[in-house]
Amino acid sequence: MKRLTETAPAKVNLALHVTGRREDGFHTLHSLCVFTELADLVSAEPAETDALSVSGPFGDDLPNGRSNLVVRTVEKFRARFPDALETGVALHLEKHLPVAAGLGGGSADAAAVIRLLAQLVDEPIPDADLFALAANLGADVPMCLFSRPCEVLGIGETLKPVNPFPALHLVLVNPREAVSTPEVFRRLKSRSNPAMPQLPGTMDRAAMLSLWLADTRNDLEAPAREIVPAIGGIIGAIAQTQGCALARMSGSGATCFGLYGSAAAAHQAAHDLREKLPGYWVAATPILAA
C-alpha cells in the first residue's frame, strides 16, 4: 500500500470562556474554534513494527517516544480496535506548528493519526467510535478530528458545527516561548464565568462575526500573560496592523492571532509584524471553510 498523508490543521480559539470546573478537575469550556490551512503533516505506511520519525521546523522540540501523543494514539487505537490493523505502522510527523503554543498541535497530530489508521483498516470504523477514541486521548482531540469551524462545549466533547462561516484570514504570532496549559489553569482567578453569547443564526459575513466577537473573550489570556508577559505586547502590535478586526490570544497561549478579511491584508500584516517582532514566529493563513 502506498504512503498515506493527512494534514493536522492548527486550532485557533476565536473565543474561549471557562464556565466551570467538574469534580474530576476538568474545566468546562464554551469556545468558538476554527482551523487553518497551516498544518503539520502526518504520513503513514505499513511496516513490520510501529515506528515514528519526526522532522520539520519544530521537529527538534518533540520527543519521538511514548511521551509523544502520536505514539500513544497508535497504542490506544490498537487497544480499542485490536484486530483492525494487520501490520505495524511507520508514521512520519512533519512539524510546522510550534509546540505548547495554544494551537492544539499535539491534538491535531493525534487526530490526523486517527484518520490515517482508519484508512489502513479493511472494515470501516464508525465515526462515533473514532470520536470516542479521540475523547479518550485529550479534550482537544475530538474538535481537531472534526477540523472545521465549531462551537465547543463541555470539556471539549460536545461539538456544534458552525456553517456557513465567512472566509477569513489569520496572522499567528508566537514569541517562541512554550506555555504549560496546566500552569495557566492553575493561575486562573475565576473558574466559573459566563458562557459565550448565543451565536447568530447565520454566520456568513465577516462583519457579523466581528460584532459577535466583541462581546466575547479568552479567559486564559490573563493567567498566560503572567507566565509570558510578551503576550500583551504581541496583541497590541497585531491590533495596530491595518485591517485587523480582532487581536487576541488563542487557547492557553502564547500564540496570538489577528483576524483579517482578505489574504492581502493578512500577508501585509505578517510582513510588518516580522519586522516589528524580530525572532518571533509569524505566519499568515486562511481559515478552513465550514
User: Domain spans of the chain?
Assistant: 4-158, 163-286
Query: Which has the closest alpha carbon to 29: 11, 42, 46, 47?
Result: 11
60-105: per-residue pLDDT in tens? 998 777 789 999 999 999 999 999 999 999 999 999 999 999 999 9
**In the structure, what pLDDT confidence band is assigned to residue 55 with cuts at 50, 70 and 90?**
very high
State the DSSP H helix or E strand holding residue 171, giving kind and residue range, or none if neither: strand 169-174
Query: What are the tens digits of pLDDT across the range 204-217?
Result: 888 899 999 999 99
Residue 238: which of 170, 138, 188 has the closest Cα?
A: 170
- Whole-prediction pTM: 0.95
CATH 2.60.40.10 fits 163-286, yes or no: no
Partner residues linked to 18 by β-bridges: 29
Q: Using DSSP bridges, classify how beta strands 51-55 and 88-94 pair: parallel, antiparallel or unpaired.
A: parallel
Categorize the per-residue pLDDT at 198 as very low, low, confident or very high, splitting at 50, 70 and 90: very high
* Average confidence (pLDDT) over 103-121: 97
CB 288 within 8 A of CB 147: yes
- Per residue in 18-34, pLDDT (tens digit) is 999 999 999 999 999 99
Q: Alpha-carbon distance 74 to 115, whole Å? A: 11
d(CA 238, CA 257): 7
pLDDT exceeds 80 at position 113: yes
Helix (H) or strand (E) holding 42: strand 27-47
Q: Where are the alpha helices (DSSP H) in the chain?
A: 69-80, 105-120, 127-137, 141-146, 181-186, 206-213, 221-227, 230-239, 263-276
Kindly list the catalytic residues.
Answer: 11, 140
Cβ(10)–Cβ(103) below 8 Å: yes
The continuous run of DSSP H or E covering 161 comes out as strand 158-161
pLDDT of residue 1: 60
Q: Does 163-286 match 4-158 at the fold level?
A: no
As a whole number, the mean pLDDT across the chain is 95
What pLDDT, on the 0 to 100 scale, is given for residue 223?
98
CATH of 4-158, one of 3.40.30.10, 3.50.50.60, 3.40.630.40, 3.30.230.10: 3.30.230.10
Per-residue model confidence as pLDDT tens digits over 145-179: 999 999 999 999 999 999 999 999 999 999 999 99
**How many whole angstroms separate alpha carbon 200 and alpha carbon 58?**
38
